[in-house]
Amino acid sequence: MVPMNSDPLEVNVTSGTHRQPLMGLAVLMRRLFAGEDLTPLAQQLLARASADDQDANALMDLSVVLQFRGQRDVALALQAQALAITRHYRLQGSQPTALRVLMLMGPGDLMANAPLEFLVEHSDVLLEMLYLKPGEPFPTSVPDHDLVFVAVGESEQNLPLLQQLDAWLKSWPRPVINRPSAIARLGRDSVCNLLADVQGAMIPAVTRVGRAILEGLVANGGEAANDGVFPFIIRPLDSHAGHGLTKAERREDVRRYLSEQPSQAFYLTPFIDYRSTDGLYRKYRIVLIEGRAYAAHLAISGDWMIHYLNAGMDLSEAKRAEEGDFMRHFDDAFGRRHDAALRAIHERVGLDYFAIDCGETPQGELVIFEVDSSMVVHALDSVDLFPYKQAQMRRVFSAFRTMLGHALGTGAQGNAHP
């Protein structure tokens, strides 16, 4: 690790004061959620980058906009150009700075790092975002900061970087939140072993297989037997948000899937029918901050593959009413029912901040789908349609800001939200 002292440490930031500041993911996604056509903005950012080949902020923001549009490869190429100019980016909260957080990140798409800007956008926290690459030495200097937050998420791509960060940060002279070694244990196959015997919780076994195994499953045996392995969920390694995810109920489903999916490695998970008695599926996102659980959202759908954006929450007053009740009564209902399991999960995971996606069986058992330190937790939904969310998310943001104060040993809460 590069020695540090009490003097301010600075990165040589190439973007001059005449360049516009970084907008960042939270600002851009808010505009997207509001229904704005971001094409004119993309054109403006492209014009800025064309006029000034050192405008890394324009390239970074344009990369985010293009990811919204599904142009992942082009977006990541632009991100690489930006990182060739500078590895350091800055996001200022809406209030005067009281706390400086060095946010350690890795290159990649919107799922690669914890999006802290959603949590501190309206606070007194300044994010000093420093991108690192595996295999490279640690920078000889870093932005001055009060504490470090490891934002790098678990993935095959990020594991080498997490391993390097673990070595670098062992004797870091300032507080570190979310140790890399704990993040590295959150792979879908490893986390099911980590949480396998938690009382009151069910986590389906996850098996990592190569393409050849699935091809062999297709080739061996007829449709009648199915060897008791069906139905199961299949997804490519490192996929999120339902990309490449399907349910296979027979060999023909696997055959068709492989014909359309080029990946060479997959996760297989037994399908758990977690429908409620009304026939609907409910997926809960729970945030754990310093071991305490908070409601982030509830998605309700007739389809087992639920994501908040495809659940039609905006189209159903009844669904929104249920989500509002879930949030308002979380501590006395869902949170109380699963308190012991959630506490045990926090202890096993060993992170100060992470989130889980989960369901609940008709028998009342918690079903764990995913544990991740980089899930999106936000308050961007329409205030008119989702008025109950603002108060709840302010609680989450306040708890996050309090956690940062506790990490400094001051107990200071600071300002989490105007």
State pLDDT tens for residues 401-418: 999 999 998 655 555 554
The span from the CA of 318 to the CA of 25, in Å, is: 31
pTM given for the model: 0.89
SS3 of residue 347 by DSSP = helix
Q: What is the mean pLDDT of the chain?
A: 89
- List pLDDT tens digits, range 259-283: 888 888 888 888 888 999 999 999 9
Which pLDDT belongs to residue 198? 94
Task: Give the distance, in angstroms, between the CA of residue 17 and the centroid of all CA atoms in the same chain.
Answer: 31
Which pLDDT belongs to residue 88? 96
- List pLDDT tens digits, range 230-259: 888 898 876 666 577 888 888 888 888 998
Please tell me the least confidently modeled range out of 109-113, 200-204, 238-242, 402-406: 238-242
| CATH architecture label of 205-270 | 2-Layer Sandwich (3.30)
CA diameter of the chain: 71
- List pLDDT tens digits, range 164-188: 999 999 999 999 999 999 999 998 8
- Domains of the chain: which residue ranges? 19-86, 205-270, 281-407
The span from the CA of 129 to the CA of 61, in Å, is: 14
The span from the CA of 215 to the CA of 400, in Å, is: 46
Which pLDDT belongs to residue 250? 84
**Could you tell me if 200 and 366 are in contact, meaning their C-beta atoms sit under 8 angstroms apart?**
yes
What is the percent of the chain with per-residue pLDDT over 90, rounded to a whole number? 69
Question: In the predicted model, is pLDDT for residue 136 greater than 70?
Answer: yes
Neighbours of 222 (CB within 10 A): 7
Residues 6+ apart with CB under 8 A from 149: 101, 102, 103, 104, 114, 116, 176, 177, 178
| The dihedral formed by the CA atoms of 176, 297, 342 and 241, expressed in degrees to the nearest 10 | -70
Are both 205-270 and 281-407 of the same fold?
Answer: no
Domain 281-407 adopts which CATH fold?
D-amino Acid Aminotransferase; Chain A, domain 1 (3.30.470)
Which tokens sit at 189?
């196959």
- List pLDDT tens digits, range 332-359: 999 999 999 999 999 999 999 999 999 9
